[in-house]
Amino acid sequence: MAEPRTVVITGASRGLGFASAVRLYREGWRVVAAMRTPDKGIKLLREATGAGEDDDRLIAVGLDLLDPASVAAAGKAIEEAVGAPYAVVHNAGISAAGMVEETDMALWQKMFATTVLGPVALTQALLPSMRAAGEGRIVLVSSEAGVRGQPATAPYSAAKGALERWGESLACEIAPFGLGVTVLVAGTYDTEIITDAGTTDDRDLAGPYARLHQTMNTRGRFAMKMARPPERFADGLVRALDDAKPFRRRGVGPDASMLLAFNRILPAAGMHHLSRIVLGIPRQGSMRGGAWPLTTVQKAMVLVARVVPQPVLRRLQSLAAKRSKGNEEL
């Protein structure tokens, strides 16, 4: 029987990495689950897959991307355990909220260490054996925010953009040796990273950007309702691991695929306006001097007040007042 192909997945303790590790194990891969908490994680992975303790198709390796010594040790441990992996999926990530002006420099450093520097160092450690094997794939998990910089997530957007760019460079460098790179642009999935608990919050909700935070917060919460289960992301990863071209960039999920399509068609200025409209950012200059522009809903209310006859409005107001009084008494 043919040896199973080996895949290393970072951030396999939970979320998309955990779901992917489980799925790839079931698909017959040998899975090296790299994470900060390998002892706890391997137990959960064994429970989810039914793998036994002596099953060498499921291995956990310690990896903290913020610690260069841990990254070097992980590279060594992986080679000792499995030799040259066929694929490395750089999945681990963190998220943060805040405008450029609001975000702490320590947050930028942590973001780039997690998304760029740690993954580059791990890739450097594993490439010599992968190159010698003459086949394999580096998969980089990016985001819609890496395709187009989004407001209030600049450190995340910038780091994901950088991830995509070093992936493009790498693809040209390693293709002659028989290897390739796939950038997976993930859509919205139901994991901790999209929740308040899973996000470092540097927003100043009472500062000059308060109006923008208010609208973006409402729209963000609406988008979260569309989040798909992490297992759907694993479908896209399974396909990506069969990519044979030197470089591919794939959207995983309808929202990501749609954004990639718009990004191909629209000029950069058009993409700016699309982001602005989707996120409810007021037009250029409208907040000069501390102005507080109305939201779309508020504008609609003003329009309704103009066109609906006064007696009807008064009747609606009294009905609304009665209703809110009723709710208070309950």
Query: Which positions are annotated as active-site residues?
Result: 156
Q: Return the number of the residue (6 or 199) whose C-beta is nearest ligand NAP.
A: 199
Q: What are phi and psi of 139, to 5 degrees?
A: -110, 130
Among 7, 9, 16, 97, binds ligand NAP (CB under 6 A): 16
- Binding to ligand NAP by CB under 6 A, coded x per residue (else -) over 153-192, reads ---------------------------------x-xx-xx
Q: Return the SS3 of 8.
A: strand
Q: Return the number of the residue (150 or 211) whose C-beta is nearest ligand NAP.
A: 150
Q: Are strands 30-35 and 95-97 parallel, antiparallel or unpaired?
A: unpaired
- Binding to ligand NAP by CB under 6 A, coded x per residue (else -) over 72-101, reads -------------------xxxx-------
Q: Does 42 bind ligand NAP (CB under 6 A)?
A: no
User: Letter for the amino acid at 238?
Assistant: V
Among 6, 7, 11, 147, binds ligand NAP (CB under 6 A): 11
| Long-range interactions of 221-224: CB distance < 8 A, separation 24+ | 223/188, 223/255, 224/188, 224/194, 224/195
Contact, 136 vs 86, CB < 8 A?
A: yes
Q: What is the CA radius of gyration of the chain?
A: 24
| Nearest distance from C-beta of residue 80 to ligand NAP, angstroms | 20
Which residue has 């955990």 as its token pair?
18
Total residues binding ligand NAP (CB under 6 A)? 29
d(C-alpha 327, C-alpha 322), whole Å: 9
Q: Which of positions 121-150 make contact with ligand NAP (CB under 6 A)?
A: 141, 143
The residue ranges that bind ligand NAP (CB under 6 A) are 10-11, 13-17, 35-37, 63-66, 91-94, 114, 141, 143, 186, 188-189, 191-194, 198
